[in-house]
Amino acid sequence: MSLTINILISTIGERIKRVPDVIMPQREGVSYIVSHQTDGSHHISKSLTTRPDVTLSTIAGRGLCANRNNAIEHATADICIIADDDCRYDDQFLENIKDAYSKYPEADIICFTAQDYNSRPLHRYPAEDMPYLQAVARGYYPTSIQTTFRLQSIEGRTAFNINFGLGSDMLCAGEEEVFMADALRAGLNIMYVNKPIVRSDPDTTGTHFLTDKQLQITKGATFRHCYGYANAVWRSVREAGWWFVHRGANPFPILCRMLKGIRLNY
């Protein structure tokens, strides 16, 4: 029996206008959950409301992780794909996902690669499939839109931490790393597969690290959540040193902000 897929699209406010460009022609076994953070004043296109394969759910407030969790709560398929309102998909991407879960039936979560809108890799990726932690050791960094999971595997076991991510009251990023760390603590099996599953804008939150003070604070908090206090301090020193060696940045303000993040209570 073929695996069914939900593409979980998180959007906010007027950006709901972008969502029809994410959605492909109808395909058996593929459906969409659109979680829309709104005050009710934003027009929703008929191209969404009339599609039988699209489920719309509205949620008040802000916070990307709250939005993602709302989408997961409405999911029903075997496999879920985390998506934003600027993502683009094609049939081959979906086949890559199905093939991976068939190849690795023990995997609860599989992380893939991403491309820009010209089909070029967004980053340099490990060339071979491997367990997630081995890929991270080789420099792999998963973004949310490269993340897929078996719905049954995560239900009741892990979710996105609402203290992290865009729109959070405290920390403006880090939700991907925190989600993965929490999934590992829950005993979930995570694989990396060297296949593309999405096209997206290469300008992600992390590209602004050097100029965004809040992002530096968030990095420290993310390190602590994922690795504990002592390891977070070591990683922060290494991170600040990298920016000094490779970008000529003053490492001390960066390190101080990251240490502030490590000390945060949330």
Residues 79/151, Cβ–Cβ less than 8 Å: yes
**How do the domains of the chain map onto residue ranges?**
5-205, 209-263
Fold (topology level) of 5-205 = Spore Coat Polysaccharide Biosynthesis Protein SpsA; Chain A (3.90.550)
pLDDT, one tens digit for every residue, the chain (266 residues) = 689 999 999 999 999 999 999 999 999 999 999 999 999 999 999 999 999 999 999 999 999 999 999 999 999 999 999 999 999 999 999 999 999 999 999 999 999 999 999 999 999 999 999 999 999 999 999 899 999 999 999 999 999 999 999 999 889 999 999 999 999 999 999 999 999 999 999 877 667 899 999 999 999 999 999 999 999 999 999 999 999 999 999 999 999 999 999 999 98
The per-residue pLDDT for 208 is 85
Neighbours of 83 (CB within 10 A): 29
The per-residue pLDDT for 24 is 97
Residues 29/53, Cβ–Cβ less than 8 Å: no
Q: Show the tokens assigned to 54.
A: 């699209």
Nearest CA among 85, 64, 71 for reference residue 170:
64
The per-residue pLDDT for 205 is 66
The per-residue pLDDT for 26 is 97
Nearest CA among 162, 160, 197, 165 for reference residue 181:
160
Find all residues with CB under 8 Å of 243, minimum gap 6, and list them: 209, 210, 249, 251, 254
Side by side, which strands form the sheet with 79-84?
54-59, 30-37, 5-12, 79-84, 147-150, 109-115, 190-199, 130-131
